[in-house]
Structure 1
Amino acid sequence: MVRWIIFILIYSIFSFYGYQAIKTVTKSSWLHYLFIAVAVIIAGNFIYQITSGEGRVLTPGKSYAFGFLLAFMSLNLVIVPVLFAEDIIRVVFGLYDKLVTKEVFDIPSRRKFISQVALGLAAIPFTSLLYGMYRGKYRFRVLEYELHFEDLPDAFDGYRITQISDIHSGSFDNHEKIKYGVDLVNEQKSDVILFTGDLVNNKATEMLPWKDLFGSLKAKDGVFSVLGNHDYGDYVDWNTPSDKEKNLEHLKQIQKEMGYDLLLNESRFIERDGQRIALVGVENWGKGGFKKAGDLRKASEDIDSKDFKVLMSHDPSHWEECVIHDDYHFHLTLSGHTHGMQFGIEIPGWIKWSPVKWRYKHWAGMYEQLGQHINVNRGFGYLAYPGRVGIWPEVTVITLKKGSNNA
């Protein structure tokens, strides 16, 4: 109850400043009332969605309630500092007039121009977040990389890997758009498809409406997968530990029925012309409070240190903490998890920024360290905020080439 009182108090203060900006710019009373009505509806819907249903279980309804709240708060978040600064100046001028002219203390009225500037600036994040909810989350893009390795087996020169990550099927609400994304994956005609975790938000049943669609993913050497932190059901209040265990087993069974080869701290070999590369998959291992079920040593016990290795590990913090200093030298690691925070600015060759960079050193794209590479996929789906702004859903295609990059 206390947290909701605090939320309503903060929300009301922010909304008050937004209302003041609207009121200063226009004298139309119906717009004033409309703003108040929208503020009440957004807050009411958010509180209702969050407090109803299965507690922390994320649903499209909860996501949209959060999305609209985030967009509305971003509007007010820009307005507040501008009008608050103006309020300070107004009070200062009022005090000056009182002290110098000895007249009655009178605070000057708000200036229409200041409110217009505040609303104009606030419209940028507001419209961006709304765009992200309705169009941005479906702007699937294919990112292609060509990586050179001198010890790549000759038979795998030109080998194509398609990576997808973070499907989060429990958030989906548009079959046609998601089908477009799945078809885009198949259109790459890669030799293998690798999925790096977070099939669902919380429960295995979230995947059932999408099982046939994602089961249509096909590649010559198959589809392989690992688990992400959301796949374990750790963010749900289960009635019993047994229910949680059954949920995970159900998720594993669903992946099997979809034709995915789920790697649980284990490895597979992909062979061509008597040569091979090792595909290694670990369970989730995340820095901080995330699950650390990944066991790199166990996953690698059936491979040789000289094998060319592709590692699937959901959380990129695993690469920095454990992988790059391992004696086995994992040539390429594929991760996801960060989503690029679903919000940021990326202009190739100029800027690459997202708030998530303050949490993860390797948060999106390809990185190289100690002769090893990691690709952090920005994710196929979305979580919590039902949209994407600047960080679009990604299908990664990586081509392995024999030789040095200067060849």
Structure 2
Amino acid sequence: MIRLLKFLVVIFVAIFCVIAYARKVEPAWLDVVQVPVTLPHLAQEFEGYRIVQVTDIHADQWMTRDRLADVVKTINQQNPDAVMLTGDFVTKAAEKYAPTLQALADLQAKDGSFAVLGNHDQWTKPQLLTETLQSVGVDVLKNQFHTIYRGNSELQIAGVGDVWAQQDDLPAVLQQLPIAGAAIMLAHEPDFADETAATGRFDLQLSGHSHGGQVYLPFYKRVTPPLGRKYPIGQYQVGSLIQYTSRGVGMASPRLRFNCRPEVTVLTLHATTQAS
């Protein structure tokens, strides 16, 4: 009986420690992930171009303005040419938590910061969030694109409206987009990569949404939301398209992270000699 009680105490302590770690330690343990990518249509003038991607901020009682300011500090330390923010700036209650996003005003990127909204943004107050982001210098792309120049060469940054909320209009993007040169797609939901790849027009898609599952137990399948199940974490090759799905920096319910640290992604772009 005593041995059984000791065993149960050990199990209880172990469970308590794991939960404490998942609640208090790992959610704040930011992982800066370096991702080199070669884009076949990238002009040589953009060789070494640095994009920092951050996604799924989920401003709430945990992701405060001070926490987000720390994330912004980490972003700026990466010396980005451009910052890409791929949605879910809040979980809910945009009126309450949109002011947290004022911390993004301190982003420092040579060519600016660009964003798309996510499903949670679209389900709350998308116009308020769009206006808040624009007020701090973030260009929100909803079925639009922006051109970055290096001399006479161009890099196109496109973004679609949220796919789950049926706000995406890929044909509208394609109608506007120049027919040649490197193009990057921002889409909150990673599984949209199948549609992006089918166009043959984009070299890279950046997404979030899945959080990498937030809690990952070895030998068990990651639990991720709809439209985040095919490409849930990291880098994939989808036809000629590179898809990258970041684990994000915030959390949705439950507010736990285990074996799935929050992520700031630094993508360094490389050109080929045949780029066109």
TM-score, normalised via structure 1 length: 0.62
Residue 255 of structure 1 aligns to a residue in which SS? helix
Residue 129 of structure 2 aligns to a residue in which SS? helix
Q: Taking every aligned residue pair, what percent have the same amino acid on both sides? A: 26
Q: 1:342 to 1:274 in 2, by over 3 A?
A: same
- Give 1:186 shift: 1.0
- Give 1:326 shift: 2.0
Letter in structure 2 aligned against 1:224: F
Query: Which residue is equivalent to 1:133?
Result: 23
Query: Which residue is equivalent to 2:206?
Result: 334
- Give 1:128 shift: 1.7
d(CA) in 1 for partners of 2:123 and 2:40?
A: 41
- Give 1:394 shift: 0.6
Letter in structure 2 aligned against 1:201: T
Letter in structure 1 aligned against 2:41: D
Find out whether 1:355 has 2:227 as its counterpart: no
Letter in structure 1 aligned against 2:203: H
Q: 1:325 to 1:171 in 2, by over 3 A?
A: farther
- Give 1:122 shift: 5.1
Query: Which residue is equivalent to 2:254?
Result: 385
Match of 1:266 among 144, 165, 169: 144
Query: Which residue is equivalent to 1:366?
Result: 235
Match of 1:165 among 55, 70, 76: 55
d(CA) in 1 for partners of 2:159 and 2:200?
A: 17
Deviations 1:4-57 (A, max 9, x none): xxxxxxxxxxxxxxxxxxxxxxxxxxxxxxxxxxxxxxxxxxxxxxxxxxxxxx
User: In 1, are the aligned partners of 2:65 and 2:102 still within 8 Å (CA)?
Assistant: no
d(CA) in 2 for partners of 1:308 and 1:279?
A: 9
Q: 1:364 to 1:206 in 2, by over 3 A?
A: farther
- Give 1:254 shift: 0.6
d(CA) in 1 for partners of 2:80 and 2:118?
A: 23
- Give 1:155 shift: 0.7
- Give 1:119 shift: 4.8
- Kindly tell me the number of residue pairs found equivalent between the two proteins: 272
d(CA) in 2 for partners of 1:205 and 1:269?
A: 32
Correspondences of 1:182-261 after superposition (within 5 Å): 182-233=72-123, 247-261=125-139
User: In 2, are the aligned partners of 1:162 and 1:190 still within 8 Å (CA)?
Assistant: yes
d(CA) in 1 for partners of 2:225 and 2:135?
A: 37
d(CA) in 2 for partners of 1:133 and 1:371?
A: 39
- Give 1:342 shift: 1.2
User: In 2, are the aligned partners of 1:138 and 1:178 still within 8 Å (CA)?
Assistant: no
Residue 333 of structure 1 aligns to a residue in which SS? strand
Letter in structure 2 aligned against 1:270: I
Deviations 1:364-389 (A, max 9, x none): 11111212111101011111122311
User: In 2, are the aligned partners of 1:225 and 1:263 still within 8 Å (CA)?
Assistant: yes
d(CA) in 2 for partners of 1:186 and 1:282?
A: 26
Query: Which residue is equivalent to 2:197?
Result: 324
Give the number of the structure whose residues are more often strand, by fraction.
Answer: 2
- Give 1:174 shift: 5.0
Residue 158 of structure 2 aligns to a residue in which SS? strand
d(CA) in 1 for partners of 2:26 and 2:263?
A: 12
Query: What are the ranges of 5 or more consecutive residues in structure 2 without an aligned counterpart?
Result: none
Letter in structure 1 aligned against 2:150: R
Find out whether 1:344 has 2:222 as its counterpart: no
Match of 1:143 among 33, 36, 46: 33
User: In 1, are the aligned partners of 2:65 and 2:101 still within 8 Å (CA)?
Assistant: no
Which protein has greater RCO, CA pairs closer than 8 Å, 6+ apart? Answer: 2
d(CA) in 2 for partners of 1:173 and 1:258?
A: 18
User: In 2, are the aligned partners of 1:171 and 1:383 still within 8 Å (CA)?
Assistant: no
Match of 1:314 among 170, 182, 188: 188
Query: Which residue is equivalent to 1:297?
Result: 171
User: In 2, are the aligned partners of 1:169 and 1:206 still within 8 Å (CA)?
Assistant: no
User: In 2, are the aligned partners of 1:283 and 1:313 still within 8 Å (CA)?
Assistant: yes
Q: Which moved more, 1:203-212 or 1:214-223?
A: 203-212
d(CA) in 2 for partners of 1:375 and 1:144?
A: 12
Query: What are the ranges of 5 or more consecutive residues in structure 1 without an aligned counterpart?
Result: 1-110, 235-246
Q: 1:316 to 1:118 in 2, by over 3 A?
A: farther
d(CA) in 2 for partners of 1:324 and 1:376?
A: 15
d(CA) in 1 for partners of 2:143 and 2:104?
A: 23
User: In 2, are the aligned partners of 1:171 and 1:201 still within 8 Å (CA)?
Assistant: no
Find out whether 1:398 has 2:267 as its counterpart: yes
d(CA) in 2 for partners of 1:341 and 1:126?
A: 21
Q: 1:361 to 1:208 in 2, by over 3 A?
A: closer
d(CA) in 2 for partners of 1:249 and 1:145?
A: 33
Give the number of the structure whose residues are more often helix, by fraction.
Answer: 1
- Give 1:123 shift: 4.2
Residue 334 of structure 1 aligns to a residue in which SS? strand
d(CA) in 2 for partners of 1:300 and 1:141?
A: 34
User: In 2, are the aligned partners of 1:284 and 1:291 still within 8 Å (CA)?
Assistant: yes
User: In 1, are the aligned partners of 2:84 and 2:114 still within 8 Å (CA)?
Assistant: yes
Residue 301 of structure 1 aligns to a residue in which SS? helix
